[in-house]
A and B are shown apart, each in its own frame.
Chain A
Amino acid sequence: MDFDLMFTSFPKLLGATVVTLKLLSVSLFFGLFIGLLFAILRLNKNIFINKFAYGYSYVFRGTPLLVQIFIIYFGLGQIEYLRSTFLWVILKEPYWCAIIAFTLNTGAYTSEILRSAFQTIKPGIIEAGKSLGISNKIIFYKIQIPIAIRQSLPAYGNEIILMMKGTSLASTVTLMDLTGVAKYIISTTFKPIEVFIVAGGIYLFMTFIIHNVIKYLEKKYSFQ
């Protein structure tokens, strides 16, 4: 055990954690909106809209995140037309490419979580709202959405943790996130175990925090 290395690499890894957290929070923020949008589209009665939303979530859940990042980072730059538009400012940056890939990926999973939450709402609740003369719009925003969010908290907590692990793939497109820096230190010192313990410890600590925050929210917003 090389404890010196563990001590010296800790601040470097902690600095890289900021990049990981940034990637995570930005993509979760946008992903939540995309997820909600596609969950609503999934509940639409129009078969084309419905199928489109299903196709989106099927493709993004059925392929590895690595492929998605590579298509966006390496693939889209190949299209001549895109290079001439303002989108190129975003797409030439690995940081934004990673964010786009993560957002679309977490959006697909989130849409599935929210859809199943919407579908498990008892029809009686909506009927009760209707018989009280509440308009459909208000039923949706004030009754269905809050219940769906509460229902999907445990599953969404898992998704946050999965996404946090997913951000490690940003290191494959040259970003120096926690995993990227860990790999750099491993490949320069050839001490994989020490670096794994420190970097893994930081990841575990974040998992622990996320897990407990979700647990607290579940308790706070439970129906009892």
Chain B
Amino acid sequence: MELLAFGKTGWGDELFYATLMTIAVSVTAMLIGFVFALIFTPLKISKYKSLNLIGNFYTTVIRGVPELLVIYLFFFGGSSAIMYVASIFGYFEYIEINAFITGSMAIGIISGAYSTEVFRGAIQSIDKGQFEAAKVLGVDKFAQFYKIILPQMLRLAIPNLSNVWQITLKDTSLISVTGLVEIMRQSYIAAGSTRDPLLFYSFAAVLYLLLTYLSMKLINRLEAKYSRGY
């Protein structure tokens, strides 16, 4: 038990900061995912076939390829891609992006594909009359999506988004392969230096369970809040 204590003798404080890192990566990735979803959802439900194709390509590829492979693509390809773009602007020094940004981008893009599917499903279950009413009132396309459809859609989407959150939270464990010190990486380091992997990996499992449990409680509250009046 002293191995888990706080302070210099134990790994408690290290694991505590690692947990905060996991939360930070998950939240950042989820938000990046929302940005992607807000871009790709309109493409997926557009009436233009070519736009549909782009939207479907994104969700199909990301959901059909293992998360780990996407992370390797970002980990190994991230800096060379940035350096290529920089070289166009005349900057030739070596650029290294930090593990937090690569990790959140990779997980964010994955999370975005799932969020896109959730948003699409939610939009399609909104009553057609809402779209027609907006059209009749002369609301332009942009305002129609962001002011009328989006607020209604969020209520329908929350239960499924909570699943996406769970997936995202668990996916962050995979970023440990890039060396970012989150729960999994910290447990790996601790297990390696104390030769007690069973304890540390089990403790990591408990931390993840705690995170999923607490976030479920929070989301349930959010859900109750947004379904007021229904």
Q: Is the CB of A79 closer than 8 A to any CB of chain B? A: yes
Q: Is the CB of A124 closer than 8 A to any CB of chain B? A: no
Q: Are B205 and A196 within 8 A (Cβ)?
A: no
Q: Are B170 and A63 within 8 A (Cβ)?
A: yes
> B52-78 interface mask toward A, CB cutoff 8 Å, 1 = contact, 0 = none?
000000001101111111001101110
Q: Is the CB of A161 closer than 8 A to any CB of chain B? A: yes
Task: Give the distance to chain A from B85, nearest Cβ to Cβ, in Å.
Answer: 14
Of A70, A164, A171, A203, which one neighbours B197 at CB under 8 angstroms?
A70
Q: Which residues of A contact B208 (CB under 8 A)?
A: 62-64, 67
Known A66-B174, A187-B76: A168·B198 in contact at CB below 8 Å:
no
Q: Which residues of A contact B68 (CB under 8 A)?
A: 168-169, 171-172, 179
Q: Which residues of A contact B201 (CB under 8 A)?
A: 67, 70-71, 74-75
Known A66-B176, A165-B67: A78·B72 in contact at CB below 8 Å:
no
Q: Is the interface of B mostly helix, strand, loop or mixed?
A: helix
Q: Which residues of B contact A187 (CB under 8 A)?
A: 76
Q: Is the CB of B173 closer than 8 A to any CB of chain A? A: yes
The interface size bin for chain B is: 35 or more
Task: Give the distance to chain B from A77, nearest Cβ to Cβ, in Å.
Answer: 8
Task: Give the distance to chain A from B22, nearest Cβ to Cβ, in Å.
Answer: 10
> B31-68 interface mask toward A, CB cutoff 8 Å, 1 = contact, 0 = none?
00000000000000000000000000000110111111
Of A63, A167, A192, which one neighbours B72 at CB under 8 angstroms?
A192
Task: Give the distance to chain A from B188, nearest Cβ to Cβ, in Å.
Answer: 8
Q: Are A186 and B198 within 8 A (Cβ)?
A: no
Task: Give the distance to chain A from B219, nearest Cβ to Cβ, in Å.
Answer: 14
Q: Is the CB of B184 closer than 8 A to any CB of chain A? A: yes
Q: Is the CB of A125 closer than 8 A to any CB of chain B? A: no
Q: Is the CB of A193 closer than 8 A to any CB of chain B? A: yes
CA distance A59 to B213 in the complex (A): 10
Known A62-B209, A75-B201, A168-B66: A193·B60 in contact at CB below 8 Å:
no
Q: Is the CB of A89 closer than 8 A to any CB of chain B? A: no
The interface size bin for chain A is: 35 or more
Q: Which residues of B contact A67 (CB under 8 A)?
A: 173, 184, 201, 204-205, 208
Within 8 A of A (CB), among B87-102: none
Q: Are B73 and A204 within 8 A (Cβ)?
A: no
Q: Are B212 and A192 within 8 A (Cβ)?
A: no
Q: Are B177 and A172 within 8 A (Cβ)?
A: yes
Q: Which residues of A contact B191 (CB under 8 A)?
A: 74
Task: Give the distance to chain A from B163, nearest Cβ to Cβ, in Å.
Answer: 11
Of A63, A166, A199, which one neighbours B205 at CB under 8 angstroms?
A63
Q: Are A186 and B173 within 8 A (Cβ)?
A: no
Within 8 A of B (CB), among A167-204: 167-169, 171-172, 179, 182-183, 186-187, 190, 192-193, 196, 199-200, 203-204
Task: Give the distance to chain B from A173, nearest Cβ to Cβ, in Å.
Answer: 12
Task: Give the distance to chain A from B27, nearest Cβ to Cβ, in Å.
Answer: 17
Q: Is the CB of B196 closer than 8 A to any CB of chain A? A: yes
Q: Are B64 and A161 within 8 A (Cβ)?
A: yes
Q: Which A residues form the contact surface with B (CB < 8 A)?
A: 58-59, 62-68, 70-71, 74-76, 78-79, 161, 164-169, 171-172, 179, 182-183, 186-187, 190, 192-193, 196, 199-200, 203-204, 207-208
Q: Which B residues form the contact surface with A (CB < 8 A)?
A: 60-61, 63-69, 72-73, 75-77, 80, 166, 170-171, 173-174, 176-177, 184, 187-188, 191, 195-198, 201-202, 204-205, 208-209, 212-213
The 7 listed contacts between A and B (C-beta, < 8 Å) are A67-B208, A75-B197, A78-B196, A78-B198, A165-B64, A169-B68, A199-B69
Nearest 8 A-B pairs (CB), nearest first?
A: A168-B66, A75-B198, A192-B77, A207-B64, A64-B173, A74-B197, A192-B76, A64-B170
